[in-house]
A and B are shown apart, each in its own frame.
Chain A
Amino acid sequence: MSDLTLSPPARRALVLRHPSVLVFLAILALFTLGVTLLSEGMGAGVISTSFIKTLGKTLCFCLVALAMDLVWGYCGILSLGHMAFFGLGGYAIGMWLMYERTRQIVADSLAAAELPPTAQEISDGIASQIFGVVGASEFPPIWSLAHSLPLQLAAVVVVPGLLALVFGWLAFRSRVTGVYLSILTQAMTLALSLYLFQNDSGLRGNNGLSGLQNLPGLDHVPQAWVSLWFFWASALALGAGYLFCAWLVSGKFSSVVRAIRDDEARVRFLGYPVEAFKLVVFTLTAILAGIAGALYYPQAGIINPAEVAPIASIYLAVWVAIGGRGRLYGAVIGAAFVSLLSTWFTGGQAPDLVLGPLRIQWVDWWTVLLGLSFVAVTLFAPKGIGGLVDLIGRIKNPDRHGADLGPDAGALREREADQ
């Protein structure tokens, strides 16, 4: 950002104005290429298929972290609901994956019957296959588009976007801000996950959607390749998402949005419709989260309501905070670092820590460490890991004359500071 504020803005290409974008894209490209060459699918086999999936999933986390950074680090809305949008994206694509795969299985089995199956018989067969676990045998109305890939792909964008639009409109127009707003987004997330937990939600209750790693019609393609495809798609989405976010935060829009974060009332008196700006940011980031989710869950293979629970969204905030909010690469670093470390610790690969008679098993104690280190980061390094870049670049923040504002101070408005 410093390059923009210390010299007059010139009309140059986005990447030239923000060299960090170029650096990021280069690193991402190199990383993708390296992983591809070392993968099982390419024959090298240094990186296992399951680890490719882990890396692909991590890239999706990075993308949703970008969205979170935009809405929190730039716009000052600590949303505890973006993992819900992520989950909705996953459900939207999962419905098609599950429907199509089941349809093929059912069609195959019915083809052997004495009479050729009618459309109704196939549909009933799919329904009883999918909904047998929740004791239903008919398609709920929300599945009426599940047969169509384009429509479900549209749903990946439309459903989270629409939910964010409606919720955001309700929340912002009543001028709910700060911690109140955070609690309200958390309530929304909880309501959604509780709804999904019901068996008659039409989305298989707590069973969720499963078998998503199998692409319909591509049973002959080994998972080693499928995982690579998704890895590439995730990397592409992350690259594109990063560019998009960088564009979003490069101009006057970013000025206004950051101004809203720092002093919402003042922006209103400048004549900007603050609620509309918040709504745009909230909805756009929800859509971004939905896309990330749609890429994530086919790699994870299963989605259930627990993934939508409020805790997931809070972890998202933790990633962004640890990575350093208010800077795009911070969010990416945080998400990648914490989620990979978490995989390593909870996967049982980390060696036990022996403290005299005590033997600390990381599977049990990793969460404790994460929670406490998160407290430590908030207390001692509010800039997160991204702050290291400032240290290297010798960037100093201006002396604010005691006024404690800006992204590193928790995106707080002056009114709150007065309390």
Chain B
Amino acid sequence: MSKTIKRLIFCLAVMFAAPALAQDAEAPIQKLLQEHGDVIAKSSRKTIGPAIDALAASGLPAAQRVLERWQAKEMWRDEESGLFVFAEEIDRDTIRVFDPADGAQIGAVPDKGFKQLKPNSGIRGMIGAALVQFQLGDPDPVTRATALDAIERDPEASHLAALRKVVDSEGDPKLKARKARLERLLTIRFDEDDAARIEAIEGFAGDPAVDVRATLNPLVATRVEFAETAPQGDDIARILKPGDAALPRTEAYALLVKDGIAPPILTRSDKRTALIDNIRDGAVGGYRVAQLDTEANRDAAYAGLVEAGIASAAASEAEIDATLAGYVFFERFTGARPTVARSALAALKDIETKVGLNRAADLVLDALSLASIYFLAAIGLAITFGVMGVINMAHGEFIMMGAYTGYVVQQIIPDYTISILIAIPLAFAVTFGAGVAMERLVIRWLRHRPLETLLATFGISVALQQIAKNIFGTQARPLTSPAWLDGSLVLNDIVSISYIRIAIFVLALLFLGLFLFVMNRTRIGLEVRSVTQNPRMAGSMGINPDRINMLTFGLGSGIAGIAGVAIGLYAKVTSEMGQDYIVQSFMTVVVGGVGNIWGTLVGATLVGTMQKGIEWFNPSNTLAAQTYMILFIILFIQVRPRGIIALKGRAAEA
């Protein structure tokens, strides 16, 4: 039966059924729906596509509403007439129906004879995609932004035309920029015109964003093929040589094997299986089983099997080489037409450079933030080591004490901002007190015995660590940062830095400034410097070296406490956290040179940069990075035994 007759009969049927409902069966939208009526009613994802496209492309004002209602499962079909209506369920048996053409209410009817259309989620997604073009032009900017999000998530060819239509009319400059960018991305992906695609591709040169790379990458896809002679044609990406990194020899040969051109390579286990299968009376291939304990004998036995026609011949190495030599292997562009692919390749290369630069910038930021952490951790150590010549092995435990102080404060004061503001001075006070006590009780009595001091402070370190473990347990405790420190400062898809790290960096700068001020501009700084240079002379000038030493040690310990709070904010608080930083802190002091704050700064920068730099070369392995860094430092000491910024001459002899 021809289509026309079918439609005629259908129309007749509709006309007879019409009196039941006052509905405009002749409305263009209804006609369009009827055109695809069976497909729509069938609701199969495979066949529904043309129906949705037709609706979306119809340009009818009602199309958007129909698609929306359909997606919301509010479209029903009159089973008798085949007409579509919108409907709401009033109760179990009654529905209120509306005319799709203008949305006018028709009336409440029993739902008998009506069938609800229940598009599955796949179809709803397709409808959603089709709806996007309507939403793009929606008066509400939020809806337009949502539509753009939807396209970015799941772009389709149809979106391109829709986008192009609305780009120019967009009033919001931000949305307009987004639309324009998205339009270019879609052009690259879906446009049929190569020139337009290439133009769009070139427009993205040097843009390191992830979505650009995601769009370009499929275009440059290639497939490895082979031929007996060198291929012609501009869709050949490059000629490959078997055995190169891009095409290992075995893979090249496997291609030939797959096409049945060459016999397969037999692995050892294949041969072994074949031999085992053919053992007869304790012998195989002319060899006794007991003899088959070398590969040479097994090969010989297998050759025997081949000769006897029991097993198939395996390609020898020489044969493989000969076979491979007979073919040319090459990569063919499969993602796009060659001109487009080449253009994309060039753009990707450009982007690669840009990405590299951005990565380097990101690395520098990372290194800076690590350096500021090491600086914070080491500055206290540098003070005590520089001024008093004391190596404080318990320094790491002071960091730990500071962090636990922060944790305890957070247990009492739930507001994170206030608790941090309280925790910082409190941590300073606690560790300052601990440092002063340690100086008075232990270190003072071991004056001029640096090695003994080192060991005694180690004893304290062990005791403190275990006490913390006994009190707080072995599991890590959280030190939560206030909400305004959450998240990170994102510069682009590659370069970003978390606010906590920025805060730590600022804190480190603050301490540097504070330290310089105290040492160079205050009375106490003057006294500290004089005690450092010549304690006896300072003592005879009325400065009490004991008091200065005590204060210095307290200060160094107090700064460790604050560093502990800062470190606790981005790492976990455990009783062993001090150990993670102590060696790096020592290294910082040693590399930088003793007795100079700038030395510590340079040392921290060097150690931080080194560690990040090595991690960059071998990103999966931080352990290796630390190992190599320590080795580097041991070698560094060879060149500059007194550190980067070293005192020279008589001052160094003291």
A and B touch in the complex (CB under 8 A): yes
Across the interface, do A115 and B292 meet the contact criterion of CB distance under 8 Å? Answer: yes
Q: Kindly state whether residue B456 has any CB partner on chain A within 8 Å.
A: yes
CB distance from B515 to the nearest CB of A (A): 22
Across the interface, do B451 and A411 meet the contact criterion of CB distance under 8 Å? Answer: yes
Q: Kindly state whether residue B391 has any CB partner on chain A within 8 Å.
A: yes
Report Cα–Cα, A370/B465, bound state, in Å.
12
Q: Kindly state whether residue B437 has any CB partner on chain A within 8 Å.
A: no
Report Cα–Cα, A333/B465, bound state, in Å.
27
- Choose from B463, B586, B634 the contact partner of A372 (Cβ within 8 Å): B463
Beta-carbon nearest neighbor of A380 in chain B:
B445
Please indicate the chain A residues that have their CB under 8 angstroms from the CB of B449 in the complex.
404, 409-410, 412
Q: Kindly state whether residue A144 has any CB partner on chain B within 8 Å.
A: no
Task: Give the segment of B17-25, B37-45, B271-279, B491-499 that binds chain A.
Answer: B271-279
Across the interface, do A183 and B466 meet the contact criterion of CB distance under 8 Å? Answer: no
Q: Kindly state whether residue A78 has any CB partner on chain B within 8 Å.
A: yes
CB distance from A404 to the nearest CB of B (A): 7
Across the interface, do A78 and B624 meet the contact criterion of CB distance under 8 Å? Answer: no
Across the interface, do B634 and A188 meet the contact criterion of CB distance under 8 Å? Answer: yes
Q: Kindly state whether residue B470 has any CB partner on chain A within 8 Å.
A: yes
Please indicate the chain A residues that have their CB under 8 angstroms from the CB of B292 in the complex.
115-116
Tell me the A160-202 residues at the B interface (CB within 8 Å): 167, 170-171, 173-176, 178-180, 182-184, 186-188, 190-191, 194-195, 197-198, 200
Across the interface, do A116 and B289 meet the contact criterion of CB distance under 8 Å? Answer: yes
Q: Kindly state whether residue A336 has any CB partner on chain B within 8 Å.
A: no
Please indicate the chain B residues that have their CB under 8 angstroms from the CB of A197 in the complex.
623
Please indicate the chain B residues that have their CB under 8 angstroms from the CB of A311 in the complex.
579
Report Cα–Cα, A301/B213, bound state, in Å.
54
Contact string, B444-484, partner A, CB cutoff 8 A, digits 1/0?
Answer: 01101111101110111111111101100000000000000
Given A78-B451, A412-B448, CB of A118 within 8 Å of CB of B293: yes
Tell me the A217-251 residues at the B interface (CB within 8 Å): none
Across the interface, do A116 and B466 meet the contact criterion of CB distance under 8 Å? Answer: no
Q: Kindly state whether residue B596 has any CB partner on chain A within 8 Å.
A: no
Contact string, A376-388, partner B, CB cutoff 8 A, digits 1/0?
Answer: 0011001000000
Report Cα–Cα, A196/B450, bound state, in Å.
31
Report Cα–Cα, A382/B259, bound state, in Å.
83
Q: Kindly state whether residue B621 has any CB partner on chain A within 8 Å.
A: yes
Q: Kindly state whether residue A98 has any CB partner on chain B within 8 Å.
A: no
Q: Kindly state whether residue A139 has any CB partner on chain B within 8 Å.
A: no
Q: Kindly state whether residue A417 has any CB partner on chain B within 8 Å.
A: yes
Report Cα–Cα, A375/B276, bound state, in Å.
71
CB distance from B293 to the nearest CB of A (A): 4
Across the interface, do B623 and A382 meet the contact criterion of CB distance under 8 Å? Answer: no
Q: Kindly state whether residue B294 has any CB partner on chain A within 8 Å.
A: yes
Report Cα–Cα, A418/B295, bound state, in Å.
73
Q: How many A-B residue pairs have C-beta atoms within 8 angstroms? Tell me.
A: 169
Q: Kindly state whether residue B631 has any CB partner on chain A within 8 Å.
A: yes
Q: Kindly state whether residue A119 has any CB partner on chain B within 8 Å.
A: yes
Across the interface, do B298 and A118 meet the contact criterion of CB distance under 8 Å? Answer: yes
Please indicate the chain A residues that have their CB under 8 angstroms from the CB of B455 in the complex.
78, 314, 317-318, 321, 374, 378
Beta-carbon nearest neighbor of B297 in chain A:
A118
Q: Kindly state whether residue A117 has any CB partner on chain B within 8 Å.
A: yes
Task: Give the segment of B5-13, B183-191, B197-205, B635-643 that binds chain A.
Answer: B635-643
Q: Kindly state whether residue B290 has any CB partner on chain A within 8 Å.
A: yes
Q: Kindly state whether residue A114 has any CB partner on chain B within 8 Å.
A: yes
Across the interface, do A171 and B637 meet the contact criterion of CB distance under 8 Å? Answer: yes
Contact string, B618-654, partner A, CB cutoff 8 A, digits 1/0?
Answer: 0001011011001101110110010000000000001
- Choose from B290, B446, B583 the contact partner of A186 (Cβ within 8 Å): B583
Q: Kindly state whether residue B442 has any CB partner on chain A within 8 Å.
A: yes
Across the interface, do A187 and B445 meet the contact criterion of CB distance under 8 Å? Answer: no
Across the interface, do A184 and B460 meet the contact criterion of CB distance under 8 Å? Answer: no
Across the interface, do A176 and B641 meet the contact criterion of CB distance under 8 Å? Answer: yes
Across the interface, do B621 and A379 meet the contact criterion of CB distance under 8 Å? Answer: no
Across the interface, do B448 and A174 meet the contact criterion of CB distance under 8 Å? Answer: no
The residue among B442, B450, B461, B624 with the most chain A CB atoms within 10 A of its own CB is: B450
Q: Kindly state whether residue A368 has any CB partner on chain B within 8 Å.
A: yes
Q: A117-B293, A187-B634, A188-B630 are in contact. List 17 more A-B contacts (CB 8 A).
A: A118-B294, A176-B637, A183-B590, A186-B583, A187-B586, A191-B631, A195-B624, A198-B623, A365-B466, A372-B459, A374-B456, A375-B459, A375-B460, A378-B446, A410-B450, A417-B448, A418-B654
Across the A-B interface, the 10 shortest Cβ-Cβ residue pairs: A371-B463, A374-B459, A371-B462, A410-B449, A191-B630, A410-B452, A367-B466, A116-B293, A375-B459, A378-B456
Residues of A within 8 A of B (CB): 78, 114-120, 167, 170-171, 173-176, 178-180, 182-184, 186-188, 190-191, 194-195, 197-198, 200, 310-311, 314, 317-318, 321, 364-365, 367-368, 370-375, 378-379, 382, 404, 409-412, 416-419
